[in-house]
């Protein structure tokens, strides 16, 4: 995950392994290499923008940052965040909703 790579240059980070992560990886792996490269480039640009807006993500600390993808059922219940970024040392959490060509809106 690009976000993990960018954050890990600054602080410890973990990706929570769950069924949503497995589904996302399977979907990503189904694209050709050119499309994957485009997605990675977009993700890197997005990560840098997120860091600008939320400095607690890249704040130099020894605290572990957790990244997790939420299940779609959370959205069905009103929580539309796709990605959670959590710092437990300060009880801080950021949720991001990610859409690409969403026809649901």
Given a cut of 70, whether residue 104 has pLDDT beyond it is: no
Using CB atoms within 10 A of its CB, is residue 80 exposed (0-12), middle (13-18) or buried (19+)? middle
* CB of 14 closer than 8 Å to CB of 64: yes
pLDDT of 102 reads: 53
Q: What is the pLDDT of residues 41-92, one digit of tens each?
A: 999 999 999 999 998 998 888 889 999 998 876 767 777 788 999 998 888 9
Whether residue 7 has pLDDT greater than 90: yes
Any idea where the domains of the chain sit in the sequence? 2-96
Q: What percent of the chain has pLDDT over 70?
A: 92
Triad 7, 15, 12: Cα angle to 5°: 40
98 falls in which pLDDT band (50, 70, 90)? confident
């Amino acid at each position: 995950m690009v976000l993990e790579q960018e954050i890990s240059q600054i602080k410890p980070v973990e990706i929570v392994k769950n069924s949503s992560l497995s589904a996302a990886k399977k979907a990503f792996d189904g694209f050709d290499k050119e499309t994957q490269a485009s997605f990675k480039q977009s993700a890197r640009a997005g990560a840098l923008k997120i860091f600008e807006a939320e400095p607690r993500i890249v704040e130099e600390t020894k605290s572990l940052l957790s990244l997790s993808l939420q299940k779609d059922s959370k959205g069905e219940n009103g929580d539309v965040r796709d990605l959670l970024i959590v710092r437990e040392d300060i009880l801080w959490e950021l949720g991001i909703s990610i859409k690409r060509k969403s026809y649901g809106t």
